[in-house]
Amino acid sequence: MDFSQLNKKSAKSFNDQKALIKKLSQGRVVNCPSCQQPIVLSLSQSTSNRAVAQCQQGCTFIELDLA
Ligand SMILES: [Zn+2]
């Protein structure tokens, strides 16, 4: 297995997730690629600077630490 490729891929998907969260936080509408429902962003700043982006069906679920 080529670990350098694997790391690149996960880094890219992490950046994709950050870009998605950024779009949502700017009030832009992003649809889930699977169910085509809008992805909703929720922020929980009480526990930590954590952002959760998920669609209604739950096929997209992204949890990111913003700190
Ligand atoms: Zn979905």
**Which residue carries 């890219």 as its tokens?**
12
- Compute, in angstroms, the gap from residue 11 CA to the centroid of ligand 1: 22
Cα–Cα dist 47/9, whole Å? 30
- Compute, in angstroms, the gap from residue 1 CA to the centroid of ligand 1: 31
- Compute, in angstroms, the gap from residue 8 CA to the centroid of ligand 1: 25
Cα–Cα dist 53/20, whole Å? 9
DSSP 1-67: --HHHHHHHHHHHHHHHHHHHHHHHTT---B-TTT-PBPEEEEETTTSSEEEEE-SSSS-EEEEE--
pLDDT digits (tens, 9 = 90+) for 1-52: 566 666 677 778 889 998 999 999 899 999 999 999 999 998 776 666 788 9
pLDDT of residue 1: 59
- Compute, in angstroms, the gap from residue 43 CA to the centroid of ligand 1: 19
Q: Where are the domains of the chain?
A: 3-65
- Compute, in angstroms, the gap from residue 53 CA to the centroid of ligand 1: 11
